[in-house]
Structure formats: C-alpha cells, structure tokens
Amino acid sequence: MDQKLIIWDLQHSSPHCTCDHQEGVTCLLWLGTSRFIASGCVAGKVRVWDSLSGDSIKTFSGHSDAIQSLSASANGEFLVSVSLDKTARAFEIGEFR
C-alpha cells in the first residue's frame, strides 16, 4: 500500500526498477510470457506496466472500488478484473502479448 510497484531481478537479488503507483497495489498478474505486468489498485484501476523499463503503458478504468483479482484469458487477448464494487470487467490486452 506504499504506492510502489517494485520489479525484482531475482538473479541478482536486487530491485530492477521501482514504479510509482498512484494508489496502493492490491494484486498483480504477469501477462503470459510477455514482459508486461498488470496491477490492480485500491482506486479501482488496472494498469499495464513494461517490466523492462518500469513505465506504465496503459490504464483501464471502470470500477468504483478496489480491485480484488486479475486473470488473463487462455489466448492472452483479455484481462478480467474483479472488484469490491461487485462487478467484473474484461479489457482487451492482445497488444501486450
């Protein structure tokens, strides 16, 4: 909840990059075998991050409460988010494969 997303280099046991997240992070999902990571936050937004640069690439909105969980479709075309607002949303993410 410190408004940071830290991507670790496990081979060297050190942070690769620290991403400033505008809200507290509630869940994460690596998008398949790509270099992209999706994060859910307390403000109900889903962000896609480039794990190599640490840049926020895209923000998805639509929830009115914290994101509880993220999952990707088997074909990698969609990201599904579930929120405390009692809704689930699907977002197109095929460009991040």
SS3 content of the chain, % helix, strand, coil (to 5): 5, 55, 45
Going by their DSSP bridges, the two strands 25-30 and 36-41 should be labelled as: antiparallel
pTM: 0.88
3-state secondary structure of 59: strand
Q: Average pLDDT of 76-90?
A: 97
CATH of the domain at 13: 2.40.10.360
The residue segments making up the domain with residue 39 are: 4-96
C-alpha span between 27 and 32 (Å, rounded): 16
Domain count, the chain: 1
Exposed/middle/buried for 55, CB within 10 Å: 0-12, 13-18, 19+? Answer: exposed
| CB burial string 32-54: b at 16+ within 10 A, e below | eeeebbbbbbbbbbbbbbbbeeb
pLDDT digits (tens, 9 = 90+) for 10-61: 888 988 888 777 789 999 999 989 999 999 999 999 999 999 999 999 999 9
